[in-house]
Amino acid sequence: MAHSAQCVVSFIANLSPIYHGEEILGMHVARSLMDGTVIVPEPNDEQEPEDASVIVWCQGDSSRASEVPAYLMASNALVSYVQFHSVGRDAEYAGNLLDDLSKHFIHKTGATMCLPYREEEFAFLGKVLKATEAAGPKIAWEALKKGLGL
């Protein structure tokens, strides 16, 4: 998919009021309204969505640029957006918003995100940790291997 990085930058630019889109040097970019950081699409963007990169200008300074995977930048931007819009709401609201927007990101860009998980998704891990405390690490390890079919 051509222009993968541009799709990610456009997605981030729409995460208002944390980011907004603007034109710089003939490129559509996303600027953080929190600190002025500018996210620029990789100019040689012929990557698959999962491999796309963006250039991050720290506080808008192009001489302080870093290239990062686009999906990681989008993940950080989306979490900030959800935190902003979840002030005063419960964790379930934030989790649902994060789920919905991550699906929208996949639809718009073809890439996936690196996101925090909700507590209920760690239920199995919690059981393993409790078993480790109660029975000791060797027995818990054997139970885990058996549960995974190893």
Q: What is the DSSP string of 16-80?
A: TTTEEEEEETTEEEEEETTT--EEEE-SS--S-GGG-EEEEEGGG-TTSEEEEEHHHHHHHHHHH
pLDDT of residue 112: 83
Q: Are strands 19-24 and 27-32 parallel, antiparallel or unpaired?
A: antiparallel
pTM of the model: 0.74
In a domain, 89, yes or no: yes
Let me know if 91 is exposed, middle or buried by CB neighbors in 10 A (0-12, 13-18, 19+): exposed
Residue 1: pLDDT band with limits 50, 70, 90: very low
Model pLDDT for residues 43-55, shown as the tens digit of each residue: 876 777 778 899 9
Specify the higher pLDDT residue, 120 or 135: 135
pLDDT of residue 37: 96
Tokens of 113: 């995100």
pLDDT of residue 50: 77
Residue 91: pLDDT band with limits 50, 70, 90: confident
Average pLDDT, rounded, for the chain: 83
Does one domain contain both 44 and 13? yes
Domain count, the chain: 2
Does one domain contain both 40 and 75? yes
Average pLDDT in the 79-84 region? 92
Average pLDDT in the 1-16 region? 86
Does one domain contain both 105 and 136? no
> Is residue 81 scored above 90 in pLDDT?
yes
Residue 147: pLDDT band with limits 50, 70, 90: low
Whole domain around residue 103: which residue ranges? 4-109
Instruction: Please check whether residue 53 is in contact with residue 33, taking contact to mean a CB–CB distance below 8 angstroms.
Output: no
